[in-house]
Every structure is written in C-alpha cells, then in structure tokens.
Amino acid sequence: MVMGDIVTGCDVLVIGGGPGGYTAAIRASQLGRDVVLAERYDLGGACVYRGCIPSKTLIHAANLIYDIKNPGNIGIKASVEFDYKKIQERRFEVVKKLRDGIGNLCKKYGVQVIKGEAYLESSDKARITSHDGTTSTFEFGNAIIATGSRSQELPGLPFDGKLVIDSNEALGLMKVPEDLVIIGAGYISAELGTMFAKLGTKVKIVQRSSRILTRFDPEVVEVVSQKMKKLGIEIYYNSKFRGLREDNNKAVVKISEDKGIETELRADKVLIAVGIRPNTEKIGLENTRIELDERGFIKVDEKRRTTDPKIFAVGDVSGPPFVAHKAFREGKVAAEVIAGLPSAFDNRSIPETVFSDPEIATAGLDEVSARKSGFEIKTGKFPFRASGSALTMDSTDGFVKVVSGMNGEILGINIVGANASMLIGEASHSIEMAAFLEDLAGTIHPHPTLSEALAEAAEAALGKVVHI
C-alpha cells in the first residue's frame, strides 16, 4: 500500500481488457457511465494475443503455402519457399494494429484504462496494482469481471515453455518444429495440427476417445479427419497419456493405445490442448458474494449478473463456449443492463468455427443435439460437389446440413467446407430471426457463390431440391 492511497469513485469498473471487457467498457461509456478498465497486460486479451488473431494469421500463411504447393487440377505448377520468422513478424504487426485500434477506441469513448491487476476488496471496492507496485483504489457502482481463461494443464505435467507448451506458446514458436505431439483433439488441436502439418511438421495427435472434435456432428468431423489423414497427421484414438521424459532435448511421450499397447512418440514439442480453465483466482472473488458453478465458472443470469447484485461477469470466465463473439455480445448486454436498458443475453445461436481444412462452422443445434433436446427434426443436406461455385474453386469437399423442427423452424445449420466460417453469419442470423426453411429457401442467393448451398440445403429439407 502506497502512502496517501486515495479512493477514487467510478460508475463501472471493468476487470480485464479482452473482447468482453473492452466491449463492455466502451458500451458503458457510450451510455454515459464513468468507466475504469483494468488490464494487467495489453488491451485485446487472448483473442488478440494468444488466440483468434495470431492463429488465423498463421493459418492463413500455412494455407497459402499449402495451396500453392497443392493447386489441384487447375493447371498451375509452382514451388514455394517461406521464411517463418517473417511470417511471425507479420503476425506481430497484425496484433499491434489491433491492440492500438482498441486503445484508440477506449480513448475515443472516454474509457480510463489502467494497466495493472485488479483485486476486489469488497462488493464495491477494488484495488488496482500496477507493475511498478503503485496501487490505486476504486469504489465502483458496478463491476464487470472479464478476466477470461487460460489453457488447462495436464495433471502432473505443467507447462514448461520448452518441451511442454500450450497453444499460446505453440503460436509463438519462431521455428517450425519437426515433430509435434498434441495431447487432446478439440478445435485447437485440429487447427494447429493442420497448420503445422502444412508447414511441414510431422504431427501426432493423442486422443482419449474414438473421435476428434467431439463437440461437432460426426458427419461434419469425418470430412475434416479425412483431410487430416491426407496431410499426414497421425491420430492415436482411445489413447492415454502415460508419461513424458526428456531425451537429447526432445520429448518422449509415452502413451497407451487401445488394448493397452504402449507406444513412445518422439517430439520437439508437446502441445497440451485438453481444455480451458477460467481465470477466477487472485481477483478477490472471496470478498464478494460471487458464486462459482460446479465447473468453476462464475455463475451469471441472463443479464450477466453474478450472485453479487452489483457485479457482472462476461466472456470465458462466465462459461463456455470460449469464443470472442460471445464475449462481445455479453459485454454489451452487461453494460446496457447497468445503464438500465432492457437487454438480455437471450441468443439462440452462438456460432462456432474451426479453422481446420476444410473449415467447420456451426450455428444453433446439430442433428444429435437437437434430438437430445427433444426435438423431432427434419434435415436437409447439400454437398459442395453439387455447387457450381465450389467446382470453380476446385474445392468440393464438405456440405451444408440444415436441421429444422417438424414445423420447419430452423434449429441449426452445420457447414463443413471451404470458407464455412464466412458462410455461417447468415445461418446464425436465420436462427436468431426464427426463420423457417421456406424463408431460407425463398431468399435469393447470388450465383455462383458458396452461399447458395444454404438455400439448397433448406430446399432439401423441404423435399424439393433442384440441384441434387
């Protein structure tokens, strides 16, 4: 504590400057609130530094390299050289632009940004400690916790930043590893595994169950796992991590496969991608009335209020899915509720995208989850090999699958294929607007584009498709 510590008042204190936090701060400020935003590193959060942006920048480069090398049957012959260091330098440029952009927005909307770690001393007071040790105390009307999440460690195998790394460190590697073992087969594993394979790494994925990407429709995943196989990625299904030793600066990962066969995998790096845990420690939650759910996330209601009436929580710290766009929306909802507006996080669709090859993008429910929720459903599928646009791009893997209730209400749209992530916005909007199959089928989609496949899939569900 510094001498003469003065308590400053503010309407809203936002803890964490990631997608949820800075959005909440700016929106609250736009609504006339006096806002302080505490961020311990730089503005932007995992999205800008450790997740979305760095990974997509590198994946874009890896895809270019791969596509040039593998132009398919379109009549091009080319060879490619690349400088991974330069690719990484461009990544830093992209990150810097975004970080500065967020800083400017905060300035523009009058958000007071304080670099330091915030600690809640009570339900209406927090201390922010800067890196140089100075502290300032804020009394707030409301607080919004947006402290995000981090990679889950494997029990008994802490990240060492050398051999055992998390996704953030994997993205930060300045040299493409020769051999990479990935424990876990969620979206991080699929994205980074594919990326490194395209950059020339021998990738091995160790997965506990008999499937990868278990969150998604098996039919969708099948298209991706076929391609992963083609890229030379080896997936060890039903396999458990048994131990790790170091040998000559390399990691030797011991796993037990199906039927108990033990195998040793050698790798330059072992990437642990087994899950995500919320950042709920060291922020003084115990001094408030905030409760956590059974998985350790902060409990929130539709208005993103915690069990402490003055405090809100948004983004990863308040539960899955761990996507920036959910945090953006939640941040706005929390700020608007604080400003007295009738906002609520009542979204039907939180789209999810996997930047695998081909991409996966989903909105709403899939066939399995819809049935599990009790819906009687109809489905309609349109394969990209029947799409004129996909043919022109020589990119015909994948399909669009529409899931609707028996009344025709669209419950979900699942896409696997080139640019799936770019197509899912329309799907999400349809679900949010409570569109019926007829609405999607009756909308004119430009030809020749991949977006036509959405209308075609809806027609297929209606039983009157023309193009297949």
Partner 1 sequence: MVDVKFPDVGEGITEGTLVKWLVKIGDEVKADQAVAEIETDKAIVEIPTSKGGKVSKLYGKEGDIIKVGSTIVTLALPGEEMRIPEAELPEVKPQEKPVEVKPEIKIPEKPAEVPQRVLAAPATRRLARELGVDISAVAGSGPGGRVTDEDIRKFAELKHEVEPVAVQPLPEMKPAEERIQIKGIRKTIGERMVKSLFTAPHVVSMDEADVTELVSLREKEKKLAQEKGVKLTYLAFIIKAATVALKQHPYLNASLDAQKNEIVLKRYYNIGIAVDTPEGLMVPVIKNADQKSIMELAKEGERLAEEARNRKIKLPDLKGNTFTITNIGSIGGIFSTPIINPPDVAILGVHRIRDMPVVIDGEVRVRKIMPLVLSFDHRVLDGAQAARFMNTLIEHLEDPDLLLLDVM
Which are the catalytic amino acids? 447
Residue number with CB closer to partner 1 (2 or 341): 341
Residue number with CB closer to partner 1 (129 or 343): 343
Based on the shown chain and the rule CB under 8 A, indicate whether residue 372 belongs to the binding site for partner 1.
Answer: yes
Decide the pairing of beta strands 112-115 and 125-129: unpaired
Convert residues 415-444 into a mask of x (bound to partner 1 by CB under 8 A) and - (unbound).
-----------------xxx-x--------
**Separation of alpha carbons 363 and 358, rounded Å:** 17
Question: In angstroms, how far is CA 195 from the centroid of its own chain?
Answer: 16
Based on the shown chain and the rule CB under 8 A, indicate whether residue 342 belongs to the binding site for partner 1.
Answer: yes
Based on the shown chain and the rule CB under 8 A, indicate whether residue 407 belongs to the binding site for partner 1.
Answer: yes
* Smallest separation, CB 303 to partner 1 (Å): 10
Based on the shown chain and the rule CB under 8 A, indicate whether residue 405 belongs to the binding site for partner 1.
Answer: yes
212 token code pair: 């990868």
Residue number with CB closer to partner 1 (153 or 409): 409
Number of residues engaging partner 1 in binding (CB under 8 A): 21
* Smallest separation, CB 15 to partner 1 (Å): 27
Convert residues 375-404 into a mask of x (bound to partner 1 by CB under 8 A) and - (unbound).
xx----------------------------
Based on the shown chain and the rule CB under 8 A, indicate whether residue 301 belongs to the binding site for partner 1.
Answer: no
Residue number with CB closer to partner 1 (56 or 305): 305
Based on the shown chain and the rule CB under 8 A, indicate whether residue 347 belongs to the binding site for partner 1.
Answer: yes
Residue number with CB closer to partner 1 (141 or 408): 408
Identify the CA nearest to 408 among candidates 434, 379, 436, 430. 436
Identify the bridge partners of residue 143 per DSSP, sorted by sequence position.
13, 311
261 C-beta neighbours (distance < 10 Å), count: 9
Report the interhelical angle of 84-108 vs 19-30 (nearest 10°).
20
**Type of residue numbered 295:** R
Cβ–Cβ under 8 Å, residues 57 and 90: yes
**Separation of alpha carbons 233 and 102, rounded Å:** 37
412 token code pair: 């979900």
Based on the shown chain and the rule CB under 8 A, indicate whether residue 373 belongs to the binding site for partner 1.
Answer: yes
Write out the E strands in 170-268: 179-183, 202-206, 234-236, 240-247, 250-256, 262-267
Residue number with CB closer to partner 1 (134 or 214): 214
Reduced DSSP (H G I as helix, E B as strand, rest coil) percent helix, strand, coil of the chain, to 5: 35, 25, 40
Residue 57's alpha-carbon distances to 22, 189, 191, 322, in angstroms, are 22, 16, 12, 19
Instruction: Kindly indicate which of the ranges 234-242, 264-272, 286-294, 405-413 contains the residues binding partner 1, using the contact rule CB under 8 A.
Output: 405-413
Report the interhelical angle of 324-338 vs 19-30 (nearest 10°).
30
Based on the shown chain and the rule CB under 8 A, indicate whether residue 155 belongs to the binding site for partner 1.
Answer: no
Identify the CA nearest to 177 among candidates 195, 155, 150. 195
* Smallest separation, CB 455 to partner 1 (Å): 18
* Smallest separation, CB 175 to partner 1 (Å): 47
Instruction: Kindly indicate which of the ranges 97-105, 309-317, 344-352, 441-449 contains the residues binding partner 1, using the contact rule CB under 8 A.
Output: 344-352
Among 374, 446, 463, 464, binds partner 1 (CB under 8 A): 374
Based on the shown chain and the rule CB under 8 A, indicate whether residue 340 belongs to the binding site for partner 1.
Answer: no
Q: Which residues contact 179 (CB under 8 A, 6 or more apart)?
A: 201, 202, 204, 250, 266, 267, 268, 269
Among 110, 200, 284, 408, binds partner 1 (CB under 8 A): 408
Residues of this chain that interact with partner 1 (CB under 8 A) are: 342-344, 346-348, 371-376, 405-409, 432-434, 436
